[in-house]
Chains A and B, each alone.
Chain A
Amino acid sequence: MSSRVLGRRGKKLDLRSAEELRAERRKGRTGQYLVLPGMIGLALFFALPVLVLLAMSLYTKPPGAEIGEFVPALQFSNYAVMLEAYWPVLLRSFWFALIATVLALLIGYPMAYLVAVRLRQHGLLKGILLVLLIAPFFSSFILRTQAWKQILSDEGFIAQTLKAVSLLPADGHLTATPIAVVAGLTYNFLPFMVLPIYANLDRLDTRLLEASGDLYANPVTTFTKVTLPLSASGVFAGTLLTFIPAAGDYINASLLGNNRNTTMIGQVIDSRFFRVIDYPGAAALSFVLMVSILILVIIYIRRFGTRELM
């Protein structure tokens, strides 16, 4: 065992023997080896595909080539062409993802708070609600979205009711609208918002809330000055986990949208790859999407996340 004592002037004196130091170094190296499989996996399944994608985005179609035939090149104009054609779709994707993230936060935070703080003493009820929060993960994403399509369809209960009370015009729709797409995004990514916030609030020391009340803070102030700042890292993680996949999603837009004013960038990439068979264009768009998300996330981290990530 090693022992450290504070010498005069507070300097640490290292009293460990050479043997102990060697043992410690060996232990350190074992840790490094354990990381190796992960690193190899990351290189194989992430770095390599990204590089391939990057190369592909610069390919060009030789004159008279068949469909799907491209040759390596450095054709940067692929990016210009794609951005020119699809920047509104890209913007819309981020816009939809942002609204869905905000909605998921507004819905998800109270849910997480209820389960983690209010029901802390009620083991059974808390457990049931927690399972319900995770339950969506047990069924397929596409299946759930398909179900939403049914729920919001013109013949569905909700649309019929809204029409009956004249909240929706008789010829109105719920599906094939931006609202349906955003609602689908919100619903599908809600658990990604709730779970990190839940994990965070579960550790919240409620005695701090009592102290805040004792120091004249009303419940609203207690929330903004104590609860929210203390759960900021959960909110931060939740918003990232919701926004990033939502921005690149194409299932919701395909199933619940109408392909005119609801198209999201994921759909475009999908159709470029599999229908138009324009691999370089699809790759360029994918890359643009990835980089813009990265930039947005970096700005976000800089602005809000520093304290939590440091």
Chain B
Amino acid sequence: MDTETQTTRRRARGSSEGADLELTGICKRFAEFIAVDQLDLVVPSGKFFALLGPSGCGKSTTLRMIAGLEAPSEGSISIGGQDVTELPSHKRPVNTVFQSYALFPHMSVLENVAFGLKRKKDREAMPKAKAALEMVELGHLATRKPAQLSGGQQQRVALARALVNRPQVLLLDEPLGALDMKLRRQMQLELKTIQTEVGLTFIHVTHDQEEAMTMADVVAVMNEGRIEQLGPPRELYELPRTAFVANFLGKSNLMRGTVSGQEDQLLSVDVAGNRILLPAARAVATEGEIMVGIRPEKLQISATEDTTAGMNRLDGIVKDASFTGTTTEYLIEVEGIGLIGTFAQNRGQQPGEMGQRVFLSWDPVHTFGLRGSESELAGVEEA
């Protein structure tokens, strides 16, 4: 189907639905400072896309360029196949839930929510706005001014104000940051339901990894104005391609080593005298000095040595064991490598006490390989 018939059908139905969003070679410079650097991004129509990254990495700036509030220094933006780079914000089929809420202080909550619909001359602006307020459980506060609401309530008004317009692309800049856990989970479900029902394209900026992983179809990890890696949450978690992603998204044990050989698609890497196997397909670099990574939960920790053939093995001394309820987290000092983190379910038997020697093992298929030139601490502090 060509785009023209698609557009006509969409118009005929009189409702907007999600549209493809495409950023090509987007750069944003503030004087000398580069906030967004050569960003290429395609978000297919109706997808839930999460943008994850440390503070100041350019997430809000990216959203602002999509919304038309900031002009890119370079590159182009298109929505539903139409180039909108030069289009002013009020003509774009995009709405934003602002990080600062940006509610109109002189209008009631209800008027705030109805604002966009009224601009579009929607006859049912008021009933729709009321329904949207009910959805975020604020129907009873419709006549209040924003200043008379709590932070979390204001945030929900901002959410309703943007959602009620059913834009083709909805931009959410940390829309749930001020909510408590219970409300947050509830809003996440609500958002996901709306997104799938109406088929809107969501671009969701968040600091909360769990939120990004549970809600999004595609997650992009951003750092210093660039997208480090992009993909489905599971893929991103299981196979990080940079040390930054490995550390920022969840936790990783990263160890430096030298590739010593390859057989049957398995690289063998010498890590401080230990032979670690890893699938060549899971390594970004396959020669020389590389970094070997393994997620903490993939490690088996036990008081006796695992002798199963083909497993990766390390041993060390327990330096720290902290009880967290369902699990106990361990830090194990491995000679020549340093501290390795892992945890064990609390099923009764303790694999090791402080100062005891324990054995670690894992299936090579979970191992991943990164470039040796990277710092193993990249993204640790930011996470």
Interface residues of A (CB under 8 A from B): 205, 207-208, 210-219, 221-222, 225-226, 229-230
B31 CB to nearest chain A CB (Å): 11
A217–B90 CB distance below 8 A:
yes
- Within 8 Å of chain A (Cβ to Cβ): is B316? no
Residue of B91, B104, B161 with most partner-chain A CB within 10 A? B104
B102–A217 CB distance below 8 A:
no
Closest residue of chain B to A206 (Cβ to Cβ) is: B102
A230–B105 CB distance below 8 A:
yes
CB contacts under 8 Å to A, within B163-188, are: 165
- Within 8 Å of chain A (Cβ to Cβ): is B115? yes
Closest residue of chain A to B111 (Cβ to Cβ) is: A225
A–B Cβ pairs within 8 angstroms, 29 of them: A207-B98, A208-B104, A208-B105, A210-B98, A211-B98, A211-B103, A212-B104, A212-B115, A213-B68, A213-B69, A213-B88, A213-B89, A214-B67, A214-B68, A214-B69, A214-B89, A214-B95, A214-B98, A215-B90, A216-B120, A216-B165, A217-B90, A218-B88, A218-B90, A221-B119, A222-B90, A225-B115, A230-B105, A230-B106
Report chain B residues within 8 Å CB of A222: 90
Given contacts A215-B116, A216-B120, contact A207 B100 (CB under 8 A): yes
Report chain B residues within 8 Å CB of A210: 69, 89, 98, 102
Give the docked Cα–Cα distance between A6 and B91 (Å). Answer: 49
B119–A216 CB distance below 8 A:
yes
- Within 8 Å of chain A (Cβ to Cβ): is B220? no
Q: Mark interface residues in B100-135 (1 if CB within 8 Å of A CB, else 0).
A: 101111100000000110011000000000000000
Report chain A residues within 8 Å CB of B119: 215-217, 221
Given contacts A208-B104, A210-B69, A230-B105, contact A216 B98 (CB under 8 A): no
Report chain B residues within 8 Å CB of A226: 104
Give the docked Cα–Cα distance between A197 and B25 (Å). Answer: 42
The 9 lowest CB-CB distance pairs between A and B, nearest first, are A215-B116, A211-B102, A216-B119, A213-B89, A207-B102, A213-B90, A210-B69, A229-B106, A214-B96
Report chain A residues within 8 Å CB of B102: 205, 207-208, 210-211
Give the docked Cα–Cα distance between A210 and B158 (Å). Answer: 14
A249 CB to nearest chain B CB (Å): 34
Give the docked Cα–Cα distance between A217 and B114 (Å). Answer: 12
Give the docked Cα–Cα distance between A210 and B67 (Å). Answer: 10
> Considering only CB atoms and an 8 Å cut-off, how many residues of chain B contact the other chain?
24
B165–A215 CB distance below 8 A:
yes
Closest residue of chain B to A210 (Cβ to Cβ) is: B69
Main secondary structure of the interface of A (DSSP, over half): helix
Report chain B residues within 8 Å CB of A215: 90, 95, 115-116, 119, 161-162, 165
CB contacts under 8 Å to A, within B203-237, are: none
B369 CB to nearest chain A CB (Å): 44
Residue from A207, A217, A230 within 8 A of B115 (CB atoms): A217
Report chain A residues within 8 Å CB of B105: 208, 230
- Within 8 Å of chain A (Cβ to Cβ): is B94? yes
Known: A214-B94, A215-B162. 7 other contacts (CB 8 A): A208-B102, A210-B69, A210-B102, A211-B98, A216-B119, A219-B90, A230-B106
Closest residue of chain A to B98 (Cβ to Cβ) is: A211
Report chain B residues within 8 Å CB of A230: 105-106
A216–B90 CB distance below 8 A:
yes
B264 CB to nearest chain A CB (Å): 56
Report chain A residues within 8 Å CB of B69: 210, 213-214
B2 CB to nearest chain A CB (Å): 28
A144 CB to nearest chain B CB (Å): 37
Report chain A residues within 8 Å CB of B161: 215
Report chain B residues within 8 Å CB of A225: 115
Residue from B100, B106, B116 within 8 A of A216 (CB atoms): B116
Give the docked Cα–Cα distance between A285 and B185 (Å). Answer: 72
Report chain B residues within 8 Å CB of A221: 119
Report chain A residues within 8 Å CB of B115: 212, 215, 217, 225
Give the docked Cα–Cα distance between A211 and B119 (Å). Answer: 13
Report chain B residues within 8 Å CB of A229: 106
Residue of A212, A213, A218, A230 with most partner-chain B CB within 10 A? A213
Give the docked Cα–Cα distance between A212 and B111 (Å). Answer: 12
Give the docked Cα–Cα distance between A215 and B90 (Å). Answer: 6
Give the docked Cα–Cα distance between A207 and B70 (Å). Answer: 12
Report chain B residues within 8 Å CB of A214: 67-69, 89-90, 94-96, 98
B107 CB to nearest chain A CB (Å): 8
Report chain B residues within 8 Å CB of A219: 90
Give the docked Cα–Cα distance between A208 and B146 (Å). Answer: 13
A19 CB to nearest chain B CB (Å): 35
Report chain A residues within 8 Å CB of B98: 207, 210-211, 214
B104–A211 CB distance below 8 A:
yes
Give the docked Cα–Cα distance between A216 and B95 (Å). Answer: 9
Report chain B residues within 8 Å CB of A205: 102
Report chain B residues within 8 Å CB of A212: 104, 115
A229 CB to nearest chain B CB (Å): 5
